[in-house]
Amino acid sequence: MTRDGLLMRCLRQRNFIIGAILVGVVLSAALLSYFWTPHSPSRINVPGRLAPASATHWFGTDHFGRDVFSMILVGSRNSIAVGLVAVTIGVLTGVALGLLASAKRGWVEDLVMRMADFTFAFPAILSAILITAILGPGTFNSILAIGIFNIPVFARITRGAANAILARDFILAARAAGKGHIRITLEHVLPNISNVLIVQATINFALAILAEAGLSYLGLGTQPPNPSWGRMLNESQTFLFRAPMLAIYPGAAIMIAVLGLNLLGDGLRDALDPRLSRSR
Amino acid sequence: MRIFTTSLAVALLMSATAALAAKDTIVIGMQDEPPVLDPTQNAAAAIDVIFSVNVYESLVRIGEDGTVKPGLATSWTIGEDGKAYTFKLPKGVVFDNGEKLTSENVKWSFERAGSATSTNPTKRHFANIAAIETPDPETVILRLKAPSSLFLSYMASGGAAIFDPKSADNNKTTPVGTGPYKFKQWVKGDRVVLEKSPTYRDPSKAQIKQATFKFVPDAAAQVPALLAGDIDAFPTVGATETLDRFKADSRFQVVIGSTEGEVPLILNNNKKPFDDIRVRRAANHAIERKSIIDGATSGYGLPIGSHFPPHHPWYVDLTNRYPHDIAKAKELLKEAGYPNGVDVTIKPPPFAYARRSAEIVSAQLMEAGFRVKIEPVEWAQWLDVVYKQKNYDMTVVAHVSPWDQDNYTRGKDYYYGYQNPEMDALMKAVLAESNEAKQKDLYGQIQRKIADEAVHAFMFQLPRTGVYAAKLRGIWKNSPVSVTDLAGLSWVD
């Protein structure tokens, strides 16, 4: 059996390809929104409200006459930014805590894991609501809330995977060669668990986007006039009978982003996990 | 399967018999929950909506037509000099806790309301009372320091409710009154339940036996609650765009009327940058009412240019006082020392009309150079941070009390933070005036003064956008005062 490059292995996964395309669409929309939107997403024009899709307004206009297509574009930027930063917070803190726990063992491990259990005991969206209720609504606070929820996820997964690596013979060899905790962790443990972390980060990215949409839907996330998919959904509710597309566009956008990231994560997992690929 | 069909049949039978008996309960939807249940302790209009007239009674009340009607007092006379008010109380009035009502209760309640330590939101209305006399248990005489054209209207407010000294302190959570309904239950965050009072002096008056006031702040949740029949009446539907749908549904009646609720973009006159009249005038030139009214109330609101209801004959149309003019607004900002614009925040409470108009008006202000940050607040937060602590630049809320122009004479104690001796003099003059033509003239001057000073940027009069079950009768089309006259409601078959 030849060891193909990572890319080749990924490209052999159908999930990965579909996921990559969907995520690519969302990413390019976000990038595009920095340079160009057909209209300003916050420009209110009440006389032209609830207009159907047309050449000027590709997705029509909302109840304040704002251009829905522009709002979707800028909303993607918002979703990706919140997801990315939140997951980064989770990865950096969670992985550090997990590595610390598995390297030190003993009471340190107990403390870190009990804290993770405690945080984990609250459903994600509930703890996010709790945090934004205390800190106040807003993009920054919702990033923080979602990030905090991500910490125990990564702490647990890191500790589990790291403990498995630490039990292997080559670690014993490294230890015999005189390497300390820190070097073993950084040089041997981290590279060996990175695959698991990448897959988990991709999937949590999707969850973070969903959580951001949920918080914004509840009015706790991104505040007007900045567009957000979740708030667009909320605002479209009472117009469902008059302009159902107002709910369908942001709903479809959320679906594409979440589905894309999940498929990408699945594809990555299959590509990175040699056991899975061999069993097929 | 047989069990299922049998139980289905039983259920159908039960609902059929339930439908045959005339309905005698009602569920009324409200967007805001009262923070406490005592109108003498808190200014929230939601307290009056539930309890005034129904549980708590004042000496007089405001009728649907806006005129003063007998409340607890059956009749009254006003002395020649306009300074002595003699009220006659009916015999045999008992509070819900069994205590008897006498003229002493009136004396006690008003002395409490006007005392130095009083926290009554209408405390200022009692400052004019020089003496309270109780010649017999059914008579009370109020002697005023100076005649007041609005004194009788003031006596109709929830803040002037007559309490029993033994239960007064507990009215915040367990209201005790003399009205046709008594308090049954308050489930915080969900509902208040009232039931017909067995001790009310006129047992034939109320037909509804139990009334539930259900709190649904989310405009999007109000609609399905009505459609599902969970709520029989919603006098102030927030999502006005859904009214057409209710109009087309024979299960409902849609009643659009007026309220006393002026909705300004409220500016904090006691804080930079709106302590400068040029900045306030810039805001006035920046707003464009048609868009706000269409976007926030689906076009049902009426434009206003000052603090006075447009349906009143004394209304002066000042909507053209500050024409929509972005260039002029920018120029005024520049004059005030903000050539590059100015940062301001707006804190709208969670009502659909407020949140929506805040969003539209913010976009309009941004065009004129204001950099607006929207910080939505919950209702309890609004009452605390904006209303009590006065920590805000701009907000949006309806002022639903009638004759509330005296808010402009409350100085820095009130959250407008507006003070002007000329306005104080005008208000004093109108209160002392008994000639109607002169009152009209003075109120005209007051309206112009409020507009000239650009105290706020006035937007629209809040419409009463009510959706009710088709079989409900006795609904108030307009709300000259924030009360729900439960005793006037009934169901038809």
Per-residue pLDDT reduced to its tens digit, B199-214: 999 888 899 999 999 9
- How many angstroms separate the CA atoms of A16 and B286, rounded? 52
Which of A63, A224, A239 lies at the smallest CB-CB distance from B295? A63
Number of domains in chain B: 3
Distance from CA of A37 to the nearest CA of B (A): 18
Task: Determine, for residues B364 and A224 on separate chains, whether the beta-carbon distance falls below 8 Å.
Answer: no
Whether residues B298 and B432 fall in one domain: yes
Residues B473, B358 share a domain:
no
Residue A118 confidence (pLDDT): 86
**Mind giving me the DSSP string for B364-431?**
HHHHTTEEEEE----HHHIIIIIIIS---SEEE--B-STT-GGGGGSBTTSTT-B--HHHHHHHHHHH
Residues B222 and B183 in one domain: yes
Under DSSP, the state recorded for B455 is -
SS3 B361: helix
Check whether B11 has a pLDDT greater than 80: no
Residues 6+ apart with CB under 8 A from B387: B43, B415
Residue B41 lies inside a defined structural domain of this protein: no
Percent of chain B predicted with pLDDT > 90: 85
Q: Percent of chain B scored above 70 by pLDDT?
A: 96
Of B203 and B366, the one with more pLDDT: B366
- One domain, residues B332 and B291: yes
Residues from chain A that touch B360, judged by Cβ atoms under 8 A, are 44, 46, 64
Same domain, yes or no, for B471 and B448? no
Distance, CA of A225 to CA of A70 (rounded, Å): 13
Predicted confidence (pLDDT) at residue B15 exceeds the cutoff of 70: no
Cis status of the peptide bond prior to B313, with omega within 30 of 0: no
Bridge pairing between strands B60-62 and B68-70: antiparallel
From B122, B137, B165, the end of a domain falls on B165
Low-confidence ranges of chain A (pLDDT < 50): 1-2, 277-280
User: CB of B295 within 8 Å of any CB in chain A?
Assistant: yes
Q: Is residue B46 part of a domain?
A: no
Picking from B32, B35, B469, B19, the residue whose alpha carbon sits closest to that of residue B225 is B469
The tens digit of pLDDT for each residue in B140-179 reads: 999 999 999 889 999 999 999 999 999 999 999 999 999 9
**Segments forming the whole domain that contains residue B112:** 57-165
Spatial separation of the C-alpha atoms in residues B163 and B151, rounded to whole Å: 19
- Amino acid code (one letter) for A93: T
Q: What token pair was written down for A278?
A: 């061999």
Range name among A123-132, B211-220, B460-469 with the lowest pLDDT average: A123-132
Q: Are strands B457-469 and B302-303 parallel, antiparallel or unpaired?
A: antiparallel
- Asked whether A215 and A142 are in contact (CB, 8 A), the reply is yes
Confirm whether B15 is domain-assigned: no
Q: Are residues B330 and B454 in the same domain?
A: yes
Domain limit, last residue, from B137, B165, B193? B165
CATH code for the domain of B455: 3.10.105.10
Task: Note whether B250 and B269 are same-domain residues.
Answer: no
pLDDT at residue B334 is higher than 80: yes
User: Please, are residues B377 and A224 in contact by the beta-carbon 8 Å criterion?
Assistant: no
Query: What is the pTM assigned to this prediction?
Result: 0.86
Which of A39, A43, A44, A61 is the mutation pick for testing B, counting most B CBs within 10 A? A44
Nearest CA in chain A to B371: A225
pLDDT one-digit tens code per residue, B92-151: 999 999 999 999 999 999 999 999 999 999 999 999 999 999 999 999 999 999 999 889
Q: What is the pLDDT of residue B493?
A: 82
Q: Given the DSSP bridges, would you call strands B181-187 and B191-196 parallel, antiparallel or unpaired?
A: antiparallel
Q: Length of chain A in residues, anyone?
A: 280
Per the domain annotation, does B50 fall within a domain? no
Q: How far is CA A160 from CA A105, A110, B346, in A?
A: 12, 13, 48
Q: Which residue has the higher pLDDT, B357 or B19?
A: B357
Taking contacts as CB-CB distances below 8 angstroms, the residues of chain A near B375 are 223
The stretch B433-462 carries a mean pLDDT of 95
Give the Cα separation of B354 and B466 in Å (integer).
17
**Partner-chain residue, chosen from A65, A137, A234, that has the shortest CB–CB distance to B376:** A137
Kindly report the CATH number assigned to the domain that includes residue B82: 3.90.76.10
Residue B18 domain flag: no
**Among the three residues B165, B187, B220, which one is the final residue of a domain in this structure?**
B165
Q: What is the largest CA-CA distance in chain A?
A: 77
Tokens of residue B99, six digits: 């205590």
Task: Classify residue B324: in a domain, yes or no.
Answer: yes
Asked if residue B184 is part of any domain, the answer here is yes
Paired sense of beta strands B129-136 and B394-396, if any: unpaired
Average pLDDT of chain B, as a whole number: 93
**Which residue of chain B is at minimal alpha-carbon distance from A243?**
B241
CB pair distance less than 8 Å for A238 and B223 = yes
pLDDT in tens, B55-86: 999 999 999 988 999 999 999 999 988 899 99
Between the alpha carbon of residue B425 and those of residues B16, B240, B420, B428, B429, the distances in Å are 65, 40, 9, 5, 6
Shared-domain flag, residues B293 and B344: yes
* CB hemisphere CA count around A204 (13 angstroms): 26
Q: Which of residues 358-377 of B touch A (CB under 8 A)?
A: 359-360, 362-364, 374-376
Establish if B294 touches chain A: CB-CB under 8 angstroms: yes
Instruction: Tell me how crowded residue A209 is: count the other CB atoms within 10 A of its CB.
Output: 29
Interhelix angle for A68-104 vs A106-121, to 10°? 150
Residue of chain B minimizing CA distance to A41: B363
- B338 and B390 in one domain? yes
Structure tokens at A21: 């395309």
In this complex, the residue of A44, A49, A241 whose CB is nearest that of residue B363 is: A44
Q: Are B428 and B149 in contact (CB under 8 A)?
A: no
- What angle is formed at CA B465 by the lines to CA A46 and CA A243, rounded to 5 degrees? 45
Same domain, B88 and B198: no
Nearest to A238 among B219, B360, B364 (CB): B219
Taken in order A115, A121, A122, A124, the sign of the CA dihedral is positive
Q: Which of A63, A223, A224 sits opposite B241 (nearest CB)?
A: A63
Partner A contacted by B241 (CB < 8 A): yes
Q: What is the DSSP letter of B94?
A: B
pLDDT single digits (tens) B235-257: 999 999 999 999 999 999 999 99
Please choose, from the candidates B265, B355, B239, B374, the residue with its C-alpha nearest in 3D space to the C-alpha of residue A224: B374
CATH, residue B471:
3.40.190.10
> How much is the pLDDT for A103?
87
Q: What is the pLDDT of residue A278?
A: 46
Tokens 């920054």 sit on residue: A140
The amino acid occupying position B308 is F
CB pairs < 8 Å spanning A and B: 52
DSSP string, chain A: -----HHHHHHT-HHHHHHHHHHHHHHHHHHHHHH--SS-TT---GGGTTPPS-SSSTT-B-TT--BHHHHHHHHHHHHHHHHHHHHHHHHHHHHHHHHHHHHH-HHHHHHHHHHHHHHHHS-HHHHHHHHHHHH-SSHHHHHHHHHHHHHHHHHHHHHHHHHHHHTSHHHHHHHHTT--HHHHIIIIIHHHHHHHHHHHHHHHHHHHHHHHHHHHHTTSSSPTTS--HHHHHHHHGGGTTT-THHHHHHHHHHHHHHHHHHHHHHHHHHHH-HHHHHH-
**Claim to verify: residue B160 and residue B245 sit in the same structural domain:** no
The angle formed by the CA atoms of residues A72, A75 and A78, to the nearest 5 degrees, is 165
Residue A182: the pLDDT is: 87
Per the listing, tokens 């200022």 go with B124
CB-CB under 8 Å, B291 with A238: no
ipTM above 0.90, yes or no: no
Could you tell me if B345 lies within 8 Å of chain A, comparing CB atoms?
no
Contact A224/B291, CB-based, under 8 Å?
no
B480 shares a domain with B356: no
Q: Out of A47, A219, A237, name the one closest to residue B291 (CB).
A: A47
Taking every pair of Cα atoms in chain B, the longest distance, rounded to a whole number of angstroms, is 83
